[in-house]
Amino acid sequence: MDYETLSNCFLGVFEHYKTDEVKVFTVGKLRNDLDKLLDFFDENIQFNQWHISFNGLAFDSQITEYILRNRDMLMNVSGEKAAEKIYAKAQDCINRMTQGEFQEYSEKNLSIKQIDIFKLNHWDNPAKSSSLKWIQCNMDWHNVQDMPIEHTTKIETVPQLQEIAKYCRNDVSSTKHIMTLCAKEIRLRRDLTEEYNIPLFSASEPRISKELFLYFLEKETGISKYELKQLRTYRREIHVRDIILPYINFNGVPEFEDLLSKFKDLVINGMHTKGAFSYSVKYRGVQTDFGLGGVHGAKRGIYEPEEHMTIMSSDVTSFYPNLAIRNGWAPAHLPKQEFCKLYEWFFDERKKIPKTDPRNYVYKIILNSTYGLSNDENSFLYDPELTMRITINGQLSLMMLYVNLAEKVPGCIPIMQNTDGLEMMIPKKYKDIYLEVCKEWEEVTNLQLEHDEYQKLIVPDVNNYIGVFKYKEVDRDTFLELQKTNPRDPFKKEDGKFYHAKTKCKGRFEIDKPLHKNKSFTVVAKALFDFFVHGTKPEEYLKTNKNIFDYCGQAKIRGNWKFQKTYVKDGIVITEPLQKTLRYLVSKEGDKIIKRNLGDDREINVVAGRWLQHIFNVYEEKAWEEYNIDYNFYLDKINREIKAMQPELFKIQLSLF
């Protein structure tokens, strides 16, 4: 469902979640369906029917509740007057959101319950902030359209009303599609709600973690949820020397002894931990960067070991949760024994449960989110010293492993380290030594490592890489199923046996991205994958990819900026305003899309250089050649990446297109 609230017109669209049945209600000067809308709401309440929305808890549900609680007053005025009052309530909701205030009607007091897929996916989090239009872009929706009529406009004609209804129906249909993509997550929240009697239908993963940990902690400690929710530990200063684990030791390696000294001398403002520390170490040709949140390091290269070498990958099992569990760490304001016992119970229970069981995923959420909530001032787990204990000791512990392997495994070539694991190329004959060093580290730290091997790593930097794991034998049925579900992976048959190699893509090489991430020019990531993994020349790959959405870029605007396009008509330069979220193709014929600052008139090209763009917010079905794609733009992006990785092998010619 979705509402549109204009100054003298209200419109609501509802589509059944299982069928194509659609209901449209209008309240305004031209038409007044308020009585029918109220009958529909009464039916929803009677039959316990829910509303599924995008950001409905903060907006649509508030309008619904306002209408229900003020039904007599609204029914006794004209349709236009009722719409004006609903509009005033809508503006109040928007103002509360802008100011970060609570809405008037809490979720538990709503007459009609909501599933809010915006909240469920945590798209209200600044790091994942996403509008419905942005999600429409990322799921290749056919129509990415902003509201065609300004909300302050007086609606006076039937065509205006029809235009608003068409727009709203598009939003509802796309919301319904997102719901289908989130069906598994919704079922999980339904099951948790029923099992624990906690309303979790619209809960994000951190909130699930918070609520369930609270539920179990109340049972374990006997302290009421209300009392637990009030607890926090605030820190004026955190002296890092006092929280570093005693086993941290770099055996005299000067680069890391210096790092350890830097950490020991550090005093952190507990109220402002972000960005409080930054340091880099150059060791064995790899620069490793340290902060308070984690460690990152990589040496650019294409690593494809010869027959006598292998690439080892070692990750710490549930690294941050296990650091807290094994060392008995807890927020200072909570009973330590009960907290640690409960936290370890989640870890042990998860190991017993198959990954196909939803509870496995729930326990994973609790384990991972609890660490993050220790640095969230709005959480009852808040204690920034606990966060620093975990992140700083995590970095130093991993670097202990890194140094020990580099110093003890002959011919070892470090490649990459990232928060909870590392990759190194070693001679195969020293694999036993590698594993023995890892075992010694496990005994010292009381942590566990998981090992795997790559046959190839393409690493521009630590945040962007492609990994191809070694082939593993699978049975025929698994082989055929994997070819359907993972068609881009390498497969082979030898001597009647079947083999599959998993692949891992990160950063700009990631193809199947989460819905909140920018998926611009997916064709570039796909072409690079096929080039580096399968040896397919980019110009050959582009000839085969006929998915027009893969060629689309997207952009969104915030603050004091606006999009506009410029083009020449009859010798005159024309400037035309554009909507806030854009999807576009780079084409041989088109316009220049510009982002302009309304304060100082600064202008920035959305796509730098000579390239032209064709707005593609509304999908156009055409013969392929009619899209007039400028392949040289895409080849240029692909080739720049390839040339940066292996300049001596760069032989691709732009003139091919």
In this predicted model, what pLDDT tens digit does every residue of 555-589 receive, in sequence order?
Answer: 999 889 999 998 888 888 889 999 999 999 999 99
DSSP letters, 340-382, are: HHHHHHHHHHHHHS-TTSHHHHHHHHHHHHHHHHTT-TTSTT-
Please report where in the chains the tokens 């339904």 appear, as a residue: 190
Q: Is pLDDT at 104 greater than 60 in this prediction? A: yes
Residue 294: closest CA among 167, 462, 165: 462
- The three-state secondary structure class of 581 is strand
What is the mean predicted confidence (pLDDT) over 88-108?
95
Q: What is the pLDDT of residue 417?
A: 94
User: Are 2-196 and 237-332+383-469 in the same CATH fold?
Assistant: no
pLDDT tens sequence across 433-451 = 999 999 999 999 999 999 9
Q: What is the pLDDT of residues 507-522, one digit of tens each?
A: 999 999 999 999 999 9
In 317-471, which ranges are E strands? 413-418, 421-427, 449-461, 464-469
- The residue ranges of every structural domain in the chain are 2-196, 237-332+383-469, 548-656
Q: Rounded to an integer, what distance in angstroms lies between the CA atom of residue 117 and that of residue 93?
A: 18
- Write out the H or E segment, with its range, that includes residue 529: helix 522-529
| Average pLDDT for 113-132 | 95
Has residue 158 got a pLDDT over 70?
A: yes
The confidence band for 549, taking pLDDT boundaries of 50, 70 and 90, is very high
- The pLDDT of residue 370: 87
**By 3-state DSSP, what share of the chain in percent is helix, strand and coil, each rounded to 5?**
45, 20, 35
Mean pLDDT of 362-382: 90
Model pLDDT for residues 166-182, shown as the tens digit of each residue: 999 999 999 999 999 99
- Collapsed DSSP state (helix, strand, coil) of residue 82: helix
- Digit-coded pLDDT (tens) for 221-242: 999 999 999 999 999 999 999 9
| pLDDT tens, residue by residue, 614-626 | 999 999 999 999 9
Dig out the tokens for 352 from the structure.
Answer: 């017993």
What three-state secondary structure class fits 551?
helix
Beta bridge partners of 537: none
pLDDT digits (tens, 9 = 90+) for 232-280: 999 999 999 999 999 999 999 999 999 999 999 999 998 888 878 899 9
Cα 97 to Cα 58: distance, rounded to the nearest angstrom: 7
Burial profile 4-18: b = 16 or more Cβ within 10 angstroms, e = fewer: bbbbbbbbbbbbebe
pLDDT band at 652 (very low <50, low <70, confident <90, very high): very low
The set of residues, in sequence order, having a beta carbon less than 8 Å from that of 167 and lying 6+ positions away, is: 4, 145, 147, 148
Q: Which residues pair with 495 in a beta bridge?
A: none
Q: Which two tokens stand for residue 431?
A: 């694999």
Arithmetic mean of pLDDT over the chain: 94
Residue 367 DSSP label: H
Longest dimension (CA), the chain: 87
In this structure, are residues 14 and 40 in contact, taking their beta carbons and an 8 Å threshold? yes
Residue 471 gets which letter from DSSP?
Answer: P
Q: What is the pLDDT of residues 294-347, one digit of tens each?
A: 899 999 999 999 999 999 999 999 999 999 999 999 999 999 999 999 999 999
Q: What is the pLDDT of residue 552?
A: 98
pTM for the structure as a whole:
0.91
SS3 at position 24: strand
In the CATH scheme, what is the code of domain 2-196?
3.30.420
SS3 call for 125: coil
Q: Which residues lie across from 323 on neighbouring strands?
A: none
User: Domain 237-332+383-469 class?
Assistant: alpha beta
